[in-house]
């Protein structure tokens, strides 16, 4: 599922946690979002999660 790109600096400064098997859907969403924005996006981080 394509997600809204988070740009909130305070949110993005929060420490992330290592991904687990339970985060598999987050990874799929990240890849979907990256593909949908590939014309204007170089990369994304998995800790940009809402």
46 and 23 Cβ atoms separated by less than 8 Å: yes
Whether the pLDDT of residue 49 is over 80: the answer is no
Determine the average pLDDT of the residues in 5-16: 86
Q: Is the pTM of this model over 0.95?
A: no
Who's near 32: CB < 8 A, 6+ residues apart?
1, 2, 3
13-43 per-position pLDDT tens digit: 888 888 899 999 999 998 999 899 999 877 7
Per-domain boundaries in the chain: 21-50
Helices (H), 1-50: 9-12, 24-36
């Amino acid at each position: 599922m394509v997600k809204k790109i988070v740009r909130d600096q305070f949110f993005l400064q929060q420490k992330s946690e290592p991904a687990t098997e339970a985060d598999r859907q987050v990874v799929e969403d990240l890849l979907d979002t990256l593909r949908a924005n590939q014309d204007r996006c170089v990369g994304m981080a998995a800790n940009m999660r809402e």
